[in-house]
Amino acid sequence: MERWITALFFSLIVFAGHAQPAYRRIAVSKDIELIQLSESAFVHVSWSELPDYGRFPSNGLVFASKGEAFLFDTPMTESLTKDLVSWITDSLKMNLVGFVPNHWHEDCTGGLAYLQRKKVKSYANQQTIGIARSKGLPLPEVGFKDSLQLKLGDRTIQCFYPGAAHSTDNIVVWIPSEKILFAGCMVKSMDAKNLGNTADGDLKAYPNTLRLVLRKFSGAKIVIPGHGDFGGIELINHSLSLLK
C-alpha cells in the first residue's frame, strides 16, 4: 500500500508538470473578456452576433510594456472597441500607441475608425490598405509589403506576410520575447471542423502559406487563432489537416 501511494504521488507530480497553466481571465463586459498569457500579453475575446452565425467569439491580442500598448485586431464594432480601449487605458494604465490588423475583414478592423479618432497610429499590409480603399473602408496609415518590425519599449514585434490563405492579405504577428504567434483566421482552433469562410481567400496557396508559417515560427509556445481557443503549434498542423 505504501509503495502504491508513493507511485500515485509521483504520478500526480508528473501530471501537474504537464498540465496547461491556469490563465487569469478578466471580464471587461458581457461581450469582452481578456485572458492574460504573460505579464505583458493578453488575448482579447469579444462576442458578436450575425444572422448566419449567431453569437460567436473573435480573438485579438494586446501587448503592453513600460506604459505603452499595441493592439492587434479590434472587436467587430466601434462600441466594443471603445470598451476594450477604455480597459487598456483605465485598468491596465497603458497608453495605446499602435494598431495592426490581421486582414481587412470586420472582425479585424471593425473599430479602426474609433482608433483613428483617438489618434492611435495604425500599420497594415499594403494589400489590406488597397482592399480597404476599394471598399470605402477606413484606411490604416502605414503600409508594408513583406514584413515590418515594430518596437514597444525594449520589446520587438514582427509583422510578417506569409502569403494568401484565409484572405489574400492576411499576416501573422510574432512576439519573440513571449514566443507568442498571433496567426489570426488562417489558423483554426483544435475543435474547428472546417476552414470557415474562405470566400476572400486562396485555397490553392493556403497550404504553402501555413507550411511557411510552421517553418518560420516553429519555436512558438502559444498560437492564437482568429476564433476559438488558443494552443500551440498543433493548431497549425490541425489547420493543414482541414485543407486535406
- What are the chain's domains? 24-243 (3.60.15.10)
pLDDT of the residue at 92? 95
Q: What is the pLDDT of residue 162?
A: 98
Dihedrals phi, psi of 144, to nearest 5 degrees: -140, 160
> Strands, DSSP E only, in 3-125?
24-29, 32-36, 41-50, 54-65, 68-72, 95-100, 121-125
pLDDT tens over the chain, length 244 residues: 333 333 333 333 333 333 446 899 999 999 999 999 999 999 999 999 878 778 889 999 999 999 999 999 999 999 999 999 999 999 999 999 999 999 999 999 999 999 999 999 999 999 999 999 999 999 999 999 999 999 999 999 999 999 999 999 999 999 999 999 999 999 999 999 999 999 999 999 999 999 999 999 999 999 999 999 999 999 999 999 999 8
| pLDDT on residue 147 | 97
Phi, psi (rounded to 5 degrees) for 96: -75, 115
Query: Looking at 74-146, which runs of residues are DSSP E strands?
Result: 95-100, 121-125, 142-144
Give residue 8's pLDDT.
31
pLDDT at 11: 34
Contact 83, 62 (CB under 8 A): no
Give the CA count within 13 Å in the CB-facing half-sphere of 208: 6
Query: How far are the Cα atoms of 73, 177, 185 from residue 221, in angstroms, in the given order?
Result: 20, 11, 18
Q: Which residue has the cell 476552414?
A: 195
**CA–CA gap between residue 68 and residue 186 (Å, rounded):** 28
Q: SS3 for 43?
A: strand
**What is residue 235's DSSP assignment?**
H
Q: Residue 21 has what pLDDT?
A: 62
| pLDDT at position 57 | 94
Residues with a known catalytic role: 103, 105, 107, 166, 185, 188, 197, 227
47 to 11, 50, 86: CA distances (angstroms): 39, 10, 17
pTM above threshold 0.85: yes
**Given this model, what pLDDT does residue 54 score?**
82
**Sheet of 155-160: strands edge to edge?**
147-152, 155-160, 172-175, 180-184, 222-225
Q: State residue 244's pLDDT score.
A: 87
Closest CA to 32 of 97, 70, 77: 77
- In this predicted structure, what is the pLDDT of residue 52? 76
